[in-house]
Structure 1
Amino acid sequence: MEVVLTKAFGFLFMIAMGFGLKRGGLFSQKDTDLLTRLVMKITLPMVIISNFRTLDLNISFLMDIGLGFFVNFVTIGLVLFLTRKKQPAERAFFIINGTGYNIGLCTLPFMQSFFEAESVAIVCMFDVGNAIMVFGVTFTVAMLIAKGKGNVSGKEIAKTLFSSMPFVAYLVMISLCILGIHLPNIVFDFAGMIGQANTFLAMILIGIMFEPRMKKSVLKDMGNVFVFRIVIACVFSYIIYHYLPGPMLHRQILSIVVFSPILSIAPIYTERCGYDRSAAAVLNSLMLPISLILMTILLIVLKLY
């Protein structure tokens, strides 16, 4: 337990350090663009590649990908039902911020510090289905709700998906595994060296992005989304752990992953759908440390470390 708490507090310290450096003037909100590009286009794809060194795709990993799709579909359906009487922009806000998971910037670096490659690969496989949903289906549904049918084209969805380097990395590495093609060890060594920077950069980025200021007019919607995410995560976690078929390790890891925070680009999507961007930004900031705390508690409860 001591090791788990030490690492968890280490993550929170790095987040706090990023926030403190921003408040001290060393960094600004503008620096998030550069750090985001470094993490999403370089270090995170390298982590994904290095985790495929010894990975052997089997039916359990395919189940993990399917689960990434399934939980997002179910959550979108619930949000559409629960918000059926709200205004279009509000519904879009709930869809974007109430569904989807920030695996790359938060959960993957967190889990990477505790587990070996096989366990981290479970997280990666879940994120394949999750990434396709959040970068394609979820945003499409939100735009259609907010602005009417026909505002989002298939070309735009494809462009969004394939501009995501983590998604491309997943797609390439899974394809190579299916074809039985194994990259030279030097490629994995090189990827591993670069990927080591991912955890620190991701946590510093989260700290810089943290912004506690909010408008009172959107507090109710923010509170509802927050409660919804926590409740649905608890339900999914319980069902996955007790009833999902497959190896126990997969059930344990995935029961933690569903507590991942909101997608980092949710504020951008929220603004495009006509809702207050600051509401999504503050909600995103608050969910990040809370998600880390909840995932740490589960690690201890499930005795995974």
Structure 2
Amino acid sequence: MDLVLKAATLVAIIALGYLVKRLGWLQGADFRVLSTIALRITLPCALIVGFDKFEIQPSLLWLSLFAFVTVVAGQVISWVVERRWGLRAQAFGVLNVSSFNIGLFVIPYLGAFLGPEAIVIASMFDVGNALSAAGVGYAWGLGLAAGRKPSILKFLNTLLHSPVFMTYLVLLLLGLFRIHLPGPVLGFAATVGAANTFIAMFMIGIGLEIVLDRRSYVVAARYLATRYAVVALAAIALWVLVPFSHMEKVVLTAVLVAPMAAMSSGFTAEADLDVSVSTFMTTFTVLVAIVAMPALLLALG
């Protein structure tokens, strides 16, 4: 019951954002303001607090590598599939098709179903997921959207200007060397970061358009089909090719059906792409995950 309530809370916050927009208290254009606050302020603070409580285990970095390869492979596949629709379609695919919402969604499920070990496995997956989505995908997607010619220097410059990526990178290094931030810094980060879940879900509701034109539904379905094809291929590779333990395979299979990362819609707004399709896809993947994740955990034991 607790799991259902937590998932329902996320959906309710999205619905609240949508209702506020329909009432005219906020406009769709306010999505950019909220995404800026989330991506540059509350999310980095939430990460600081989360990493301080989480001990990075070097022996489990293979899980992070699996996540990194999975997400980047999804970005490449989407880039290939979308070539016929142009650079901006490719950029949208790179930014939206291949990322996973671990912290807001997966951890509550795994903690209740499988306990602390599952949370560690999912958290190590999230390290690779974040570095690839907020790093490679962010820099690549923004470059494609802007129509820039491929350039290593421009790619690295965009990468280094990603607050989420740089936060993850610094915290990863601090974690590997067992360095903890001072108490006052953590106290400030905890206060600010506590708002991240609400703002991240609320901004999705602000950007959400339930009633889209027919073309937008077709576009969303195309990207979602690519996403779940990548998920299926990753799951098959996980069980057939990757020498992880049974517990790790069970947890990672559940993680693969997690919703899109909330930051994807923020990146979409930053790239000046179709936020309404992105938020629709995010909401759809949340609804799918509510059913699929516990079903997979129960089926796989």
Superposed pair shares fold, TM > 0.5: yes
- Runs (5+) with no aligned partner, structure 1: 272-276
For 2:124, the equivalent position in structure 1 comes to 122
Provide the secondary structure at the position in 2 that maps to 1:229. helix
Amino acid at match of 2:20: L
Q: 215-224 or 66-75, which moves further after superposition? A: 215-224
Report how many residues are paired: 288
CA distance in 2, matches of 1:218, 1:283: 7
Matches within 5 A, 1:18-33: 18-33=17-32
Identify, as 1 or 2, the structure richer in helix: 2
RMSD: 3.3
Matches within 5 A, 1:250-289: 250-259=248-257, 260-261=259-260, 263-265=264-266, 267-268=268-269, 277=273, 280-289=274-283
CA distance in 2, matches of 1:210, 1:44: 20
Is the contact between residue 21 and residue 27 of structure 1 (CA under 8 Å) also seen in structure 2?
A: yes
Compared with structure 1, are the counterparts of its residues 250 and 205 closer, same or farther at alpha carbon in structure 2 (3 Å cutoff)? farther
Q: Deviations over 1:132-159 (max 9, x none)?
A: 221124555x46xx95xx6243343233
Q: Deviations over 1:122-141 (max 9, x none)?
A: 3531312332221124555x
Compared with structure 1, are the counterparts of its residues 19 and 83 closer, same or farther at alpha carbon in structure 2 (3 Å cutoff)? closer
For 1:159, the equivalent position in structure 2 comes to 157
For 2:90, the equivalent position in structure 1 comes to 92
Is the contact between residue 211 and residue 281 of structure 1 (CA under 8 Å) also seen in structure 2?
A: no
**How far does residue 70 in structure 1 lie from its aligned partner after superposition?**
1.0
**How far does residue 32 in structure 1 lie from its aligned partner after superposition?**
1.8
User: What is the TM-score normalised by the length of structure 2?
Assistant: 0.78
Q: Deviations over 1:174-221 (max 9, x none)?
A: 111233322234433442332221111111111001024544456544
For 1:68, the equivalent position in structure 2 comes to 67
Amino acid at match of 2:126: C
CA distance in 2, matches of 1:195, 1:120: 20
CA distance in 2, matches of 1:81, 1:37: 29
Matches within 5 A, 1:105-120: 106-111=101-106, 113-114=108-109, 115=111, 118=120
Is the contact between residue 237 and residue 255 of structure 1 (CA under 8 Å) also seen in structure 2?
A: yes
Is the contact between residue 28 and residue 207 of structure 2 (CA under 8 Å) also seen in structure 1?
A: yes
Is the contact between residue 75 and residue 95 of structure 2 (CA under 8 Å) also seen in structure 1?
A: no
